[in-house]
């Protein structure tokens, strides 16, 4: 008798479990992205931000098409869409990173930009350490 009650309760709760499915993440859904979401100021000098941006593009497995270190821009391809990452020095300790589509159509996955910003945020606090040579 107890087994029948447990089976009935499980059958009644099953639709509740299936009704709680999560929708697709908003980071991978194509949508209109505002220009403000594509720019961010980092408390890093422009040279370090340039190298962290290159590392972040590689870590996200995007394809780098062109790097111009003198002017501080990187052209890369992500999900069959071309982007321009431009580093603008604000002062000796702060820099601005702007990641924009090259065709000025801001209809793409926001995760492309947000994951790059997140990578830079996480790795900007890590300082290089000299390892002792044995």
User: Mean pLDDT, to the nearest integer, of 58-65?
Assistant: 95
How many domains does one find in the chain? 1
Indicate whether 131 belongs to any domain: no
Domain assignment present for residue 41? The answer is yes
* 3-class DSSP assignment, residue 10: helix
- Nearest partner of 32 among 126, 120, 119, 101, judged by Cα: 101
Query: How far, in Å, CA of 99 to CA of 80, rounded?
Result: 15
Range of 43's domain? 37-124
Neighbouring CB atoms inside 10 A of 3's CB total 7
13, part of any domain: no
The pLDDT value given to residue 26: 64
Question: 34-50, pLDDT tens digit by residue?
Answer: 999 999 999 999 999 99
73 in a structural domain = yes
Q: Is the overall model pTM greater than 0.75, yes or no?
A: no
> Could you tell me the CATH number of the domain that includes residue 116?
3.30.310.80
Give the residue ranges of DSSP H helices in the chain. 2-19, 46-59, 111-124
């Amino acid at each position: 008798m107890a087994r029948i009650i447990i089976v009935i309760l499980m059958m009644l709760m099953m639709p509740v479990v299936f009704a709680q499915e999560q929708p697709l993440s908003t980071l991978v859904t194509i949508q209109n992205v505002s220009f403000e979401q594509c720019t961010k100021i980092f408390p890093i000098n422009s040279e370090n931000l340039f190298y962290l941006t290159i590392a972040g593009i590689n870590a996200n497995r995007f394809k780098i098409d062109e790097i111009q270190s003198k002017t501080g821009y990187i052209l890369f391809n992500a999900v069959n869409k071309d982007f321009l990452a431009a580093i603008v020095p604000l002062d000796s300790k702060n820099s601005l990173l702007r990641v924009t589509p090259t065709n000025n159509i801001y209809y793409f996955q926001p995760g492309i930009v947000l994951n790059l910003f997140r990578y830079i945020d996480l790795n900007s606090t890590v300082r290089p350490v000299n390892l002792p040579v044995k």
